Every structure is written in C-alpha cells, then in structure tokens.
C-alpha cells in the first residue's frame, strides 16, 4: 500500500511558545532520572546510532474532520527504546517525561514507549528535520495526537511515578495507540 507524504512546506505547524534558537554545538540530549547510567549525547552521537524509518500520521487534537491540521511524513531517527536500553532503566520505572527547549513537555507510559515505535526523529521526508518541525530532535509518538509528540527535545526523564506534561496537567487524555512497524533507514 502506497501512502502519499505531505510535502514539508505544506505540513502544518503548531507550537505553544516561540520557536527556540538551537546552537547544535551546545545542544545535548540527556536521558536521566530512574536509570543506572545517565546519557548525555550530541547530535552526532544520535546520528551515528542505527536509524529506523516510520511513515506516520500526525494530527492535531483540535483538527476538525477533513481539516488542515493533519499530515503524513516519513520520520527517521533513533528508537527511544534503544536509548532506554543504553541507560538501563531501573525496575519500578513506569513513566517518561519528554522535555522540549521551548518549555513544553509530554509524558508517556514506559510500556507504550517500549512496545510502540516511539522514536526521536532527526529527519522528516528524508530531509534534515526543519527547525519549525522540531530540529534537532522531535519525538514521534505513533497512533497518538500531536500533543503527545514533542519538538526540540533535549531531555528524556525516566521516573517511577507519573509526571504530567503540559497538556496532561490540563486534563488531556493519553489515549490508545495503534500498532506500527519500523524499517531500517
């Protein structure tokens, strides 16, 4: 089955605050919290890891039926589960909070991140991720609305207890997800 990708220039954009300035030389991704080994990775570190691809729909929670706040892209990056394996998540961990440079955050159950094709994308439609779409790293959360995705991710915080993100603290649901399948980049 062939799926038409939404061209990057036509892909919708929404953010709660200002688009942050990103200095790639200073930017780091930290994986910490309830882990045995805190990871601090550069963009080059992530780009050197095995990459996977996933074609996925991104839709805004507030999109009306047939509305413009929906797009399909091929995302390429590193599965979050691989990073969690490297950090060695401690027993009793149950939640992950993804932090963004613009102050946004979203949480996910550890079981969702381990069993769904959740990734930190570095590319969109075979192009480096554009700044307005989350450069350098965007969380891709398959099967969930856009508020469960996050742009400009710089920290992955593992915890025993659930920490609510921006919209979750305002009563938005987590929601079920549908299955997905990575393929090698």
Per the rule left: phi > 0, alpha: psi between -120 and 50, beta: everything else, 92 is left
Contact 54, 185 (CB under 8 A): no
Q: Where are the domains of the chain?
A: 23-172
Q: Per-residue pLDDT averaged across 148-162, rounded?
A: 95
Helix (H, G, I), strand (E, B) or coil at 52: strand
Predicted confidence (pLDDT) at residue 89 exceeds the cutoff of 60: yes
Tell me the C-alpha distance between 20 and 23, whole Å.
10
Give me the pLDDT at residue 68, please: 85
Predicted confidence (pLDDT) at residue 3 exceeds the cutoff of 80: no
Give me the pLDDT at residue 2, please: 63
- pTM (predicted TM-score): 0.91
Most confident among 2-6, 136-140, 176-180 (mean pLDDT) = 136-140
Backbone angles phi, psi at 156, to 5 degrees: -120, 110
Give me the pLDDT at residue 116, please: 83
How confident is the prediction for the chain on average, in pLDDT? Answer: 90
Give the range among 29-43, 77-91, 157-171 with minimum mean pLDDT. Answer: 157-171
Give me the pLDDT at residue 15, please: 79
Q: Per-residue pLDDT averaged across 28-49, rounded?
A: 98
Confidence of residue 183 (pLDDT cuts 50, 70, 90): low
Predicted confidence (pLDDT) at residue 34 exceeds the cutoff of 90: yes
Selected from 3.90.420.10, 3.20.20.70, 3.30.565.10, 3.40.720.10, the CATH number assigned to the domain covering 23-172 reads 3.90.420.10
Strand partners, 128: 123
Tell me the C-alpha distance between 68 and 60, whole Å.
9
Confidence of residue 175 (pLDDT cuts 50, 70, 90): low
Q: pLDDT tens-digit profile of 7-25?
A: 999 999 987 778 999 999 9
Predicted confidence (pLDDT) at residue 181 exceeds the cutoff of 60: no
């Amino acid at each position: 089955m062939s799926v038409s990708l939404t061209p990057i220039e036509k892909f919708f954009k929404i953010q709660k605050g200002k688009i942050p300035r990103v200095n790639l030389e200073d930017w780091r991704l930290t994986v910490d919290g309830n882990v045995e080994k805190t990871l601090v990775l550069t963009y080059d570190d992530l780009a050197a890891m095995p990459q996977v691809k996933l074609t996925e729909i991104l839709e805004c929670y507030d999109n009306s039926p047939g509305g413009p706040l929906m797009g399909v892209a091929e995302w390429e990056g590193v599965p979050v589960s691989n990073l969690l394996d490297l950090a060695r998540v401690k027993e009793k961990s149950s939640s992950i909070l993804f932090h963004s440079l613009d102050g946004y955050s979203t949480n996910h159950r550890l079981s969702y991140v381990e069993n769904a094709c959740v990734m930190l994308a570095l590319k969109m439609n075979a192009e480096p991720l554009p700044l307005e779409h989350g450069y350098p790293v965007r969380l891709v959360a398959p099967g969930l609305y856009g508020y469960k995705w996050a742009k400009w991710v710089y920290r992955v915080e593992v915890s025993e207890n659930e920490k609510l993100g921006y919209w979750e603290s305002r009563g938005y649901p987590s929601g079920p997800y549908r299955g997905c399948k990575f393929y090698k980049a």
